[in-house]
Amino acid sequence: MAPPLFVSGGRFLGLKQRHILFMALGGSVGAGLFLGSGGAIQQAGTSVLLAYVLCGIVVFLIGRAAAELALSDREGRTLNAFVGRYLGARMEFLVGWSYWLIWTLVCISEITAAGIFVRHWMPDVPQWAVAAVLGGVLLAVGSRAVATFGEMEFWLAIIKIWAILALIGCGLVTILGHVGPGGAHASFGHLWDAGVMLPHGMAGFAAILPMALFAFGGTEIIALTAAETDDAVRVLPRVINGIVGRIIVFYVGSLAVIMAIVPWGEADATHSPFVLAFQHMGLPMAGEAINGVMALAALSSCNAGLYATSRTLASLSESGMASARLRERSASGVPAMAFAASFATVLAGVVLNYFLPDRLFGYAIQGVAFLLIFVWASIMVAHLAYRRSADGARRVVAALPGAPVSNWLAIAFLLAIGLDIVWAGRLYVPFLLDAAWLTVLVLLHGRLSARQAGASVV
C-alpha cells in the first residue's frame, strides 16, 4: 500500500482512524435520520427498524468490498480507479463521473437543508444567503490540509452523535422511569401494538426500503481515504467493521426510543421525529436545539461530499479522463483545482436556492438514487473480477465475508431496490435522466478514446 501522500517536516499529515470513522458517520448520519425518518415511520411503522438493519447489512458488504479493493490497489487511488482496473476504462469513466455527480447533488441538497434549518431561527434571511455563508465555511476548511478537514468532520460528527445519545438516554429515562408529561404513556410495548408493525402492509415496508438503503450512503467514502490515511492496512478494516454497526445502533436505537414515546400517527415527513420525541418528554428546548444539530448534520454531509468530489475529480484527471489541471495540488497536498471545481457546484446550489428554494432539496435527492445503485453494484462486480484475478488470489487483508455469494446477494438486493423505486415509487423522470446521463458518458468516453488513439498513432 502506498504511504500517506502528505508529509511535512517528517510528520504525516494524513487522516487518522478517528477522522475516517467520523467522516463515514458524517456522510451517513444526516438529514435522512433527523428529518426524513419521520416519513419512514409514517409509511412503515415499527417495521422501519427491520428495514434499517437489513439495508445496513447490505451496505456493510459493499463497504468491505470497497475496502478490500482499495487496499489491493498499490497506487492508493480512488473508487473509480480500482473499478477501472478490473472492469475496464469505460467503467472507470462512468463510475468516476457518476460518483462525482452523486456527491455534487448531495452537497446541493445538504446545503439547501442547512439553509432551511437555519431559517427556523432567522425566517427573514433568504435561504440562498444562508447557503452562501455555509459554503464559505466549507471553502475555508476544505482548501487547507486534509488533517484540517478531518478535524472539522470529526467535531461536526461528534455533535450529531451526542444529540442521538442524548435522545436515547433521555428517552430511556422517560420510558423506564415514567417521568415527564409523556412518560405515563411511553413504553417499548408500543412497538408491538396492533396495526403499528405494518400499518400499510408489505407495500409500505417495500416503499421505505430505498430510503433506508440510501440513509447509509457515504459509507463507501472510506475507500477514498486509503491514500491519505496513516497505516491504512490496519485502519480501514477496523473502521469498516465498526462503522455500519454504529450507524445501525444510532438509527435503530434512536427510532425505537422515538416510537416508544411518540404515538404512531403523529410522525410524518414534515416534522423531525426527534423534536416530537423531546416535546413528549417535556423538553421542548432540547427539541429546539435539534434544529441546530440538523443544520450541522447537513453541513457535515456537505463537507464529506466536497472531499469525495475533489478526490474523484483528481483521480479522473490522473487517468486522463478529465482536464490535466485538476490533478494540481497545493503545498499542503490538497488537489486544489479539483476542490475549486467541486466547490463551484456548491455555488451552483446557492444560485439554485434563489430560484427553487422549496423544490431543490427533493430534486437533488431523487437524482442520486439510481446513480448510487449503479456505483454500488459496480463495486460489487469489480470485487468479483478482483477475486478471480492474480491479485485476488494473494489477498491478505479485509477480505469480504461470504464472497462471492455475498456479492451476488448485494447485487440482487440493489437491483430489487431499483425496480422498487421505478414501479412503486413511480420515479420515472429521475430514472430516465440518470439513464440519459450514463448514455452521454458512454458517448463521451467513446470520443475520448478515439482522440487518445489518434494522438498515440501520431
Element (H, E) at 13: none
Cα atoms found within 13 Å of the Cα of residue 92, Cβ hemisphere only: 21
Q: Mind listing the pLDDT tens digit for each residue in 252-270?
A: 899 999 999 888 888 777 7
- Burial class for 122, CB neighbours closer than 10 Å (0-12, 13-18, 19+): exposed
User: What's the longest Cα–Cα distance across the chain?
Assistant: 81
Residues 6+ apart with CB under 8 A from 390: none
Cα atoms found within 13 Å of the Cα of residue 197, Cβ hemisphere only: 5
pLDDT tier at 412, thresholds 50, 70, 90: very high
Q: What average pLDDT does the chain have?
A: 78
Percentage of the chain beyond pLDDT 70 is 77
C-alpha separations of 362 from 358, 367, 372, 430, 435 in Å: 9, 9, 16, 11, 19
Concatenate the DSSP letters of all residues of 233-260 into one string: HHHHHHHHHHHHHHHHHHHHHHHHHHHH
* Gap between the Cα atoms of 337 and 357, Å rounded: 29
Q: Scanning the structure block, which residue is given the C-alpha cell 484540517?
A: 148
What pLDDT score does 339 carry?
84
Phi, psi of 231 (to 5 degrees): 55, 55
pLDDT tier at 98, thresholds 50, 70, 90: very high
Structure-block grid coordinates of residue 110: 445538504
CATH superfamily of 9-445: Amino acid/polyamine transporter I (1.20.1740.10)
What pLDDT score does 432 carry?
87
What pLDDT score does 299 carry?
78
Q: Mind listing the pLDDT tens digit for each residue in 350-389?
A: 777 667 666 666 666 677 888 999 999 999 999 999 988 8
In angstroms, how far is the first alpha carbon of the chain from the final one? Answer: 36
Helix ranges (DSSP H) in 2-125: 17-28, 31-34, 37-44, 48-72, 79-87, 89-118
Structure-block grid coordinates of residue 255: 427510532
Q: Hey, what amino acid is at 308?
A: A
What pLDDT score does 3 carry?
32
Q: Hey, what amino acid is at 398?
A: A
What pLDDT score does 228 carry?
62
CB 419, CB 425: distance < 8 Å: no
What pLDDT score does 18 carry?
67
Scored b (16 or more CB within 10 A) or e, 123-136 reads eeeebbbbbbebbe
Q: Which of 126-130, 159-163, 385-389 has the highest mean pLDDT?
A: 385-389
* Gap between the Cα atoms of 206 and 17, Å rounded: 36
Percentage of the chain beyond pLDDT 90 is 16
Closest residue by Cα to residue 70 from 304, 226, 232: 226
* Gap between the Cα atoms of 391 and 379, Å rounded: 16
| 3-class DSSP state of 229 | strand
pTM of the complete model: 0.84
